[in-house]
A = this chain, B = another copy of it.
Amino acid sequence: MSDYPSIVLEQAVNQMASLPGVGRRTALRLVLHLLRQSDSDVQAFANAFARLKTEIVYCRECHNISDSELCPICGSPRRDHSTICVVENVQDVMSIENTGQYTGVYHVLGGVISPMEGIGPKDIEIDSLIERIAKGDVQEIILALPTTMEGDTTNFYIYRRIQNAELPEMPKLSQIARGVAVGNQIEYTDEITLGRSIVNRTLFAVN
């Protein structure tokens, strides 16, 4: 006999436990929590996931998650469409949006180049980025990829691809500042970050 008194219960626990970081004991606790909710609440819970794959699309411009062919950011006339910020994933778009410091548009790669994980340039949205740039009207590309080996590799690959693209006009290419995080103590900052933050120091803007 199975450990579970019900196959329906067991299947729900199996599904919950398939999520990353959710163990079987936690999964059981979550499913029993759902079981105590009203019929309509549990139906709403199930429906929200049933709709995920059928209704979510990816923006044809920036490849961000969207409800329509063009995401709200790419569709907005109030955004600066001549500046493209290149990010790894959807969460990064949300994080940058939350800063309120960026008014341009995005390009979501959907990953970074990682030979270790078998992710090459063709597996992420780099070709579509080059096409977007080749259309013209792009003034600046801001690379906001993770400050890891994979992020740096991807940065360099994109840089070379733009160089080789024989564009009529070369856009500016920048990457987000790296250095000591705001609020961090100098003594607890790792050596590489601290070393770079000295090399790449910024001048006070003296009026």
Contact = CB atoms under 8 A, between A and B. Distances in A.
Count of chain copies:
2
Contact of A20 (B11, B22, B33, B66): B33
Interface in A9-32: 9, 11-12, 14-15, 18-22, 26, 28-32
A3 to B, nearest CB: 6
A53 interface: yes
A43 B53 contact: yes
A91 B115 CA distance: 44
Nearest to A108: B5
A203 interface: no
A47 B46 contact: yes
A48 interface: yes
B44 A3 contact: no
B11 A48 contact: yes
Contacts of A44: 15
Contacts of A20: 29-30, 33
A63 to B, nearest CB: 11
Nearest to A7: B67
A95 to B, nearest CB: 10
Interface string A28-43: 1111111100010011
Interface centre among A50, A52, A53 (most CB of B within 10 A): A52
Contact of A49 (B15, B19, B22, B56): B15
A35 B18 contact: no
13 contacts: A3-B94, A5-B65, A5-B66, A6-B71, A8-B55, A9-B65, A12-B52, A14-B48, A18-B45, A34-B52, A35-B65, A43-B53, A46-B47
Interface of A: 1, 3-9, 11-12, 14-15, 18-22, 26, 28-35, 39, 42-56, 59, 64-67, 71-73, 89-91, 93-94, 97-98
Question: Would you list the 9 A-B pairs with minimal beta carbon distance, nearest first?
Answer: A46-B50, A46-B49, A15-B48, A12-B48, A8-B55, A42-B53, A6-B67, A15-B45, A39-B53
